[in-house]
Copies of this chain bind each other. A is one copy, B any other.
Amino acid sequence: MEFLRVSYHVDVSASEAHERAEALALEQTVEVPRVVVRDAFIESRILGRVEAVEPDPQGGHRITIAIPEAATALDPAQVLNLMFGNSSLHADVECVDVEFPASIAKALQGPRFGIAGLRALVGVHDRPLTCTALKPMGQSPEALAELFRTFARAGIDFVKDDQGLAEHAFCPFEDRVRACIAAEAEIAEETGRRSVYVPNLIGTPETIFRQLEFAEASGARAVMISPMLVGLPVFWEICHRRASVPVLAHPSFAGTQRIAPELLFGKIFRAYGADAVVFVSYGSRFSPPEEVCRRLADHLVEPWEGILPSLPVPGGGIRIETAASVAKFYGIDSMLLVGGNLQIAAGEVAERSRAFVAAVAGTG
């Protein structure tokens, strides 16, 4: 019998830890007092069981619950529900780790293309990749396409929409995709090197599915989605039922206070199918500790139940000046995202873009 293992950090003293652990095991599975579990099947195949209660050196306790696989129905939404459904409503509980048995890993499937697939799109294998964003929001499709041309001429590998580019009247999705894909072809013709334009899909399912269809039909070679904004199960369905191109995950709305970032971005986004995961890095205007970033990036690429590795994309306000050191920290299998910093001086966007590309190339 296989188990989904979930670990929580709970702010409790030793005297309460075991009782809380039993309560967590109930809350995440049967959601009734223990006395109500009278049926042998429910007891053996559904009820969560406490596997470990360990004091955390930093205070509080780490509690690990094993949940029988049968309870998950191998469904992407139900897996989340069992991981951190009702217990997320207890303010002192943080979900810190998960272990998927082979059956769940196989059901979730992970990335379809992963690092190798993204590298193949640009033919680069010996250095970290580079990435920037088309922004700020508020520009016309033609203005964004022109910005794309500047970035592509400078040799940036992936140029993604900002995650706030939606179905705006001043910049409809289809016009934007058409203009940027045309610019992609035009600069490839000019330079012999084809950067990848990555449109952002955002909206309710009917909107996103339509956007995906249009993007693929127009020749987009990758797309981006914010899984927490649209829903992780939607993200899974896009990756595994609808998209035929790689999918980048953006962290918007992922406010990870109570799911450890290394778990959410490092394991969950990967398991659900992200070929690349954008996350806020140390050295940005967000400031997670270096060791969290290290664990997060490691989780994205380490061997895991036959699931492909996912490309770490550190971002969140990295500057050209520190791009090389950040690239060295994450190593070759990463993609550096530098956004607004390329645009801080009017008229110098091309120059700054080239400087970014050179800085990262130097680390390969």
Contacts and interface: CB of A to CB of B under 8 A. Distances in A.
A217 interface: no
A290 interface: no
A70 B266 CA distance: 34
A170 B205 contact: no
Contact of A31 (B139, B164, B251): B164
Nearest to A76: B204
Contacts of A135: 30-32
A75 B203 contact: yes
Contacts of A70: 168-170
Interface string A227-263: 0011111101100010000000001111111110000
A78 interface: yes
Contacts of A82: 164
A355 interface: no
B164 A81 contact: yes
A85 B39 contact: no
A137 interface: yes
Interface in A193-247: 202-207, 226, 229-234, 236-237, 241
A215 B137 CA distance: 41
A22 to B, nearest CB: 12
A29 interface: yes
A346 interface: yes
Interface in A309-360: 316, 339-341, 343-346
A182 interface: no
Given A75-B202, A81-B253, A84-B256, A343 B32 contact: yes
B31 A77 contact: no
A237 B204 contact: yes
Interface stretch (A9-17, A87-95, A114-122, A123-131): A87-95
A89 B254 contact: yes
Contacts of A77: 166, 202-204, 207, 226, 229-230
B38 A346 contact: yes
A179 interface: no
Contacts of A346: 38
B88 A256 contact: yes
B136 A31 contact: yes
A224 to B, nearest CB: 13
Interface string A147-177: 0000000000000001110111110000000
A42 B86 CA distance: 41
